[in-house]
Structure formats: C-alpha cells, structure tokens
C-alpha cells in the first residue's frame, strides 16, 4: 500500500475504534455490522450513522439501537462543486464533533471529493459489489451479468481519489448463475458482504492490516 495511507490506531474492546457508517439506502450492510458489534466484544463500535438521503431506510437500524444518526442532505440552493463542498463540510463537522476515527462507506452512493479523501485516507473504506478492478461504478451487478462472467463477488478497499480504485484489502467470490437477474445477484453478493465487512474492520482495528 502506498505511503500516503494513514491507518487508524490499534484499538481494543475496552477502547474501541469509533466508526461512522455512511449509507444512502436500505442499510442491510449496516444492520449486519451493528449485529456483529453487539454480538461480542469488538475492537470497533459504530458511534454515528450518516445518510445523504432523508428517506434512507437504513437510518432506522441505527435508531432501533439508539445509535446517533443523521440525515445530511445536499443543499437545495447551491450547485456543482460548491454544493458538494458544503455537503462534505457538514459531514466533516459531524465526524469531528463525534470524535470519529474511521469512516465506513456502506452503500453510500456519492463520490467523495479529493479534499475529503485526503483528510481520511487510510481511515476511509468502501465495500463494492464486484471483484475490483472489474466492474467499478454504480452498476456493478448489471455489468457483471452483461459481461457473462461466471464469478463475481465483493471487494473491501481503502478509498482513494479515484472511483473504486483504492488499495484492495479483501475480496469474496460468488457464482453468477444462469438466469441471474440484478436482484438475485445483488442478494447473493450481499450475503458475503455482510460477513466480510465486519471481519475486515476487525483486521484493521486490530492492526492486522499493514502498509
Ligand atoms: C451493497 O451491495 C454495496 O456493496 C453497494 O450498495 C449495497 C448497499 O446495500 N455499494 C455500492 O454499490 C457502492 N458503489 P445496503 O444499503 O442494503 O447495505
């Protein structure tokens, strides 16, 4: 991994790494992570959940467990880069005021600016529903089906300035079956995502990932 990734501290169950999870949708990955964290002593805890959409169903998974959660929508008044910057400034404020140590993208469907990435590089991870570098972008499952590949899967990676280009941490494969639709492949991939992401967060927060 290149030298400009600054990894988080090595944490312990007594002093777990404080995560913010960013979502945009139903949050099944968030729910799986929260279950995992409440199932035993872990080196990481979800201290904050942020959605860019007020309507994101996933916010209720946090509310159910009384975890601090916020919708931070885009401004209706600003446009372009100014709008992105103002949005990320508000996210950054929430991260800082909640003493967040690492940012976990879990179905967060916005591209972060290089300024934001630079602040968090090495402490900013994403899960993507393909075996990167194959099928980056917002339609990974559709692209895998259209390419007629027999195997796809998911990737957890550090986020860099590109789209789904950061250093790969770990991947899991699933078969792509004849007759698969985007929906059936999505569900098969989610099942392995829900096991992989908590495990990778264990590895990072325990110092088992090195540069
Ligand atoms: C997950 O499959 C995740 O890999 C994908 O969104 C889904 C979120 O599901 N992320 C991306 O496509 C990022 N480009 P969830 O809201 O049910 O956790």
Tell me the per-residue pLDDT of 92-131, one tens digit each, with 9 for 90 and over: 999 999 999 999 999 999 999 999 999 999 999 999 999 9
Any ligand 1 atom below 6 A from CB of 193: yes
Buried b (16+ CB within 10 A) or exposed e, 142-159: ebbbeeeeeebbbbbbbb
- How far the first Cα of the chain sits from its last, in Å, is 5
Would you name the residues annotated as active-site residues?
Answer: 128
**pLDDT score at 210:** 78
- Residue stretches of the chain with pLDDT short of 70: 1-3, 211
Any ligand 1 atom below 6 A from CB of 29: yes
CA of 107 to the centre of ligand 1 (A): 3
Every domain of the chain and the residues it spans: 17-205
Closest atom of ligand 1 to CA, residue 186: 2
Any ligand 1 atom below 6 A from CB of 26: yes
Average pLDDT of the chain to the nearest whole number? 97
Q: Order of strands, edge to edge, in the sheet holding 151-158? A: 69-71, 44-51, 17-23, 102-105, 124-128, 151-158, 168-175
Q: Name 171's Cβ contacts closer than 8 Å, sequence gap at least 6.
A: 131, 132, 153, 154, 155, 156
User: Which residue's CA is minimally distant from atom 17 of ligand 1?
Assistant: 28
* Strand-strand pairing, 151-158 and 69-71: unpaired
Instruction: Among 22, 26, 52, 106, say which to mutate for ligand 1: greatest number of ligand atoms within 8 Å of CB.
Output: 106
Closest atom of ligand 1 to CA, residue 56: 16
Q: Which residues pair with residue 128 across a beta bridge?
A: 155
CB 21 within 8 A of CB 39: no
Any ligand 1 atom below 6 A from CB of 166: no
Closest atom of ligand 1 to CA, residue 189: 2
DSSP state of 52: S
Buried b (16+ CB within 10 A) or exposed e, 174-185: bebeeebeeeeb
**The domain defined by 17-205 carries CATH number 3.40.50.170:** yes
Predicted model pTM: 0.97
Q: Tell me the C-alpha distance between 135 and 11, whole Å.
A: 34
């Amino acid at each position: 991994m290149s030298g400009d990734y600054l990894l988080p501290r090595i944490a312990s169950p007594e002093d777990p790494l404080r995560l913010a999870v960013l979502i945009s949708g139903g949050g099944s990955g968030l729910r799986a992570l929260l279950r995992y964290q409440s199932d035993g002593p872990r080196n990481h805890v979800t201290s904050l959940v942020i959605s860019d959409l007020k309507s994101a169903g996933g916010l209720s998974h946090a509310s159910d467990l009384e975890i601090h959660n916020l919708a931070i929508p885009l401004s209706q008044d600003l446009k372009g880069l100014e709008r992105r910057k103002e949005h990320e400034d508000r996210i950054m404020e929430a991260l800082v005021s909640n003493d967040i140590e690492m940012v976990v993208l879990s179905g967060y469907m916005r591209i972060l600016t290089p300024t934001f990435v630079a602040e968090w590089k090495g402490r900013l991870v994403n899960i993507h529903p393909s075996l990167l570098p194959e099928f980056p972008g917002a339609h990974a499952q559709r692209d895998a089906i259209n390419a007629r590949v027999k195997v796809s899967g998911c990737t957890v990676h550090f986020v860099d300035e590109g789209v789904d280009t950061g250093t790969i941490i770990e991947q899991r494969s699933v078969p792509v079956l004849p007759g698969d639709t985007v929906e059936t492949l999505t569900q098969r991939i989610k099942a392995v995502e829900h096991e992989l992401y908590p495990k990778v967060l264990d590895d990072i927060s325990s110092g088992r990932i090195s540069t």
